[in-house]
């Protein structure tokens, strides 16, 4: 049944679901056993300032949101309904203004054993807050999605997004946050390493308009990471943070924290710019901001895992370093290109080593060098396929056609390299400069052309 509130232009599509909840205008709200809406605060004016949604930096976007709702009024109201327009009901107005205030996004890969405890602790920590939990699973073999959906059956505040054929912490967080309609979005690990009792204090910072982004930080005040991180990872984490601060040119103590809360409009705005790979979502979010944002860090102690094992690996570290270096270059060099160049440099080493071995085996120089160069190109192709382009990895027949194309394009790159070096040498008569210019040109050609024609 569609209801129209002529005073507010709030139009909802009302239906009941099995869990005894009612959805209205897309937002779900709790309903008592007798079907009456549970008591709720009235927000007739949709005052974004009071909700803490409005900030000077994002004023344009948020007020645009309000205007869209108001403009929708005449059109929707005049469309009416077969059964006629339903007269104003304060209950409808209340309900329409009552979405979730806070979406908690928990990325989860093989976290089945942690989810019930996570939901229990969130419910305890967030009493009095209209919160929801979105678990974003990447088709975990341990049945994380089934567990999350089981919990959702008995608690409609819980939702599970199950992604298939995709992996990545950052991508999972982005999808969860983009599914939110709440003014505030929090991100928390599903393994209970983050202290959920900090959430109300984080929310207060946003509600009371003291910040746009609140970070649960291990490196301010009373915060600590000693319980949850080994000595080696602790040192790595500090180094990662130092690099990040350098690249961000912002004074953030824990920019790689996986625990934070942000105004949703900010997230919505930067989402298209965020990288979906790896662990660096917060760093990326801060680095991708276009408007100044106010950041507050609140201390907490990073706990040991409740169950299961960490998914942080060397690939996540590589990704992170790539992103930081890319930001340090002022976004000039994409992270993927950096990785491609590092792989290229590794090819040079392969080339030298194999040529030396073959010459040591008395193979004449020319064939030894040719074989070494071909093997270096092959190893470059295979490493790029496994690492640089692992999200677009070629398999089977496409691996072979891709390899042939890669060799052809790199052959062109080599000719261009030599030609550019000759030109520069002719013009400037500086050997080293000519060689470097040729190499840079060749490398950029190889990256650009293979990224389009191979992967
Ligand atoms: N959906 C999905 N897909 N979730 C993932 C994936 C993935 O590919 N990889 C990891 N996760 C989930 C985990 O299940 C967990 O809930 C959360 O993301 C964090 O992953 P962990 O594997 O537990 O990370 P960690 O504890 O080693 O790293 C923590 O500290 C880092 C900084 O030191 C996290 O908080 C990171 O976010 C943080 O950057
Ligand atoms: Mn963890």
Tell me the per-residue pLDDT of 261-314, one tens digit each, with 9 for 90 and over.
999 999 999 999 998 877 889 999 999 888 889 999 999 999 999 888 888 778
User: What ligand is nearest to the CA atom of residue 305?
Assistant: 2
Distance set, CA 170 to CA 108, 184, 276, 410 (Å): 11, 18, 5, 32
The pLDDT score that the predictor gives to residue 249 is 76
144 in contact with ligand 1, CB cutoff 6 A: no
Q: Label residue 16 by pLDDT band (50, 70, 90).
A: very low
136 in contact with ligand 1, CB cutoff 6 A: yes
Distance set, CA 2 to CA 22, 79, 83, 87 (Å): 13, 11, 9, 11
Give tens-digit pLDDT for 141-191: 999 999 999 999 999 999 999 999 888 999 999 999 999 999 999 999 999
The pLDDT score that the predictor gives to residue 320 is 84
**CB 43: neighbour CB atoms within 10 A?**
15
Ligand 1 atom nearest 109 alpha carbon = 14
Mean pLDDT of 40-54: 33
169 in contact with ligand 1, CB cutoff 6 A: yes
C-alpha 310 – ligand 2 centre gap (Å)? 5
Spatial neighbors of 445 by CB under 8 A, at least 6 apart, are 409, 412, 413, 416, 417
Ligand 2 ion: nearby residues, β-carbon < 5 Å = 189, 191, 193
C-alpha 190 – ligand 1 centre gap (Å)? 8
User: What ligand is nearest to the CA atom of residue 225?
Assistant: 1
Among the residue ranges 27-41, 264-278, 381-395, the one predicted with the least confidence is 27-41
C-alpha 307 – ligand 1 centre gap (Å)? 13
**CA 105, CA 114: separation in Å to the nearest integer?**
14
137 in contact with ligand 1, CB cutoff 6 A: yes
- 218: helix, strand or coil: coil
Mean pLDDT of 212-232: 86
Residues 40, 30 contacting (CB under 8 angstroms)? no
The pLDDT score that the predictor gives to residue 46 is 31
54 in contact with ligand 1, CB cutoff 6 A: no
Question: Mean pLDDT of all residues in the chain?
Answer: 80
Pocket probe mutation, ligand 1, options 217, 219, 258, max atoms within 8 Å of Cβ: 258
The pLDDT score that the predictor gives to residue 270 is 95
C-alpha 111 – ligand 2 centre gap (Å)? 10
Ligand 1 atom nearest 280 alpha carbon = 39
**CA 217, CA 299: separation in Å to the nearest integer?**
5
Residues 193, 106 contacting (CB under 8 angstroms)? no
**CA 156, CA 204: separation in Å to the nearest integer?**
24
The pLDDT score that the predictor gives to residue 321 is 86
The pLDDT score that the predictor gives to residue 313 is 79
User: What ligand is nearest to the CA atom of residue 171?
Assistant: 1
Output the six-digit token pair for 202. Answer: 């984080």
The closest residue, in CA terms, to atom 36 on ligand 1 is 258
C-alpha 148 – ligand 1 centre gap (Å)? 17
C-alpha 204 – ligand 2 centre gap (Å)? 25
The pLDDT score that the predictor gives to residue 411 is 93
Mean pLDDT of 240-267: 89
User: What ligand is nearest to the CA atom of residue 320?
Assistant: 1
Q: Which residue has the tokens 């710019």?
A: 273
The pLDDT score that the predictor gives to residue 56 is 37
C-alpha 317 – ligand 2 centre gap (Å)? 15
In the predicted structure, residue 79 carries a pLDDT above the cut 70: no
Q: Label residue 97 by pLDDT band (50, 70, 90).
A: low
Give tens-digit pLDDT for 191-220: 999 999 999 999 999 999 999 999 999 988
**CA 355, CA 372: separation in Å to the nearest integer?**
5
300 in contact with ligand 1, CB cutoff 6 A: no
């Amino acid at each position: 049944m569609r209801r129209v509130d002529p005073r507010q232009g709030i139009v909802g599509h009302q239906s009941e679901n099995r869990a005894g909840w009612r959805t209205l205008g897309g937002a779900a709200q709790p309903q008592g056993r007798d079907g009456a809406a549970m008591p709720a605060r009235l927000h007739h004016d949709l005052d974004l300032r009071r909700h803490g949604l409005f900030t000077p930096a994002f004023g344009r976007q948020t007020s645009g949101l309000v205007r869209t709702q108001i403009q929708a009024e005449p059109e929707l109201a005049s469309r009416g309904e077969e059964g006629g327009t339903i007269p104003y009901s304060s209950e409808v107005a209340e309900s329409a203004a009552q979405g979730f205030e806070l979406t908690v996004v928990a990325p989860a890969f093989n976290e089945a054993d942690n989810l019930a405890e996570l939901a229990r602790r969130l419910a305890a920590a967030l009493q009095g807050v209209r919160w929801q939990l979105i678990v974003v699973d990447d088709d975990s073999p341990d049945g994380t999605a089934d567990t999350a959906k089981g919990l959702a059956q008995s608690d409609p505040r819980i939702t599970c997004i199950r992604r298939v054929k995709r992996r990545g912490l950052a991508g999972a967080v982005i999808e969860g946050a983009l599914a939110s309609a709440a003014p505030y979005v929090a991100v928390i690990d599903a393994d209970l390493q983050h202290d959920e009792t900090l959430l109300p204090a984080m929310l207060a910072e946003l509600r009371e308009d003291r910040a746009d982004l609140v970070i649960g930080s291990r490196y301010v005040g009373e915060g600590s990471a000693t319980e949850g991180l080994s000595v080696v990872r602790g040192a790595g984490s500090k180094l990662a943070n130092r690099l990040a601060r350098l690249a961000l040119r912002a004074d953030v103590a824990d920019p790689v924290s996986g625990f934070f809360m942000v105004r949703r409009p900010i997230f919505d705005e930067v989402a298209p710019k965020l990288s979906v790979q790896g662990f660096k979502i917060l760093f990326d979010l801060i680095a991708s901001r276009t408007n100044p944002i106010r950041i507050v860090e609140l201390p907490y102690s990073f706990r040991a895992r409740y169950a299961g094992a960490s998914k942080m690996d060397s690939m996540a570290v590589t990704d992170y370093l790539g992103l930081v270096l890319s930001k340090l270059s002022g976004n000039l060099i994409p992270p993927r290109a950096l990785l491609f160049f590092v792989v290229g440099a590794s090819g040079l080493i392969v080339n030298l080593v194999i040529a030396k071995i073959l010459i040591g085996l008395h193979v004449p120089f020319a064939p030894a060098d040719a074989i070494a160069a071909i093997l270096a190109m092959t190893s470059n192709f295979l490493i790029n396929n496994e690492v640089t382009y692992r999200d677009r990895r070629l398999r089977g027949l496409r691996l072979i056609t891709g390899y042939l194309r890669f060799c052809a394009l790199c052959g062109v790159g080599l000719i261009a390299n030599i030609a550019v070096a000759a030109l520069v040498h002719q013009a400037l008569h500086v050997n080293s400069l000519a060689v470097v210019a040729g190499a840079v040109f060749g490398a950029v050609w190889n990256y650009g052309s293979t990224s389009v024609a191979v992967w």
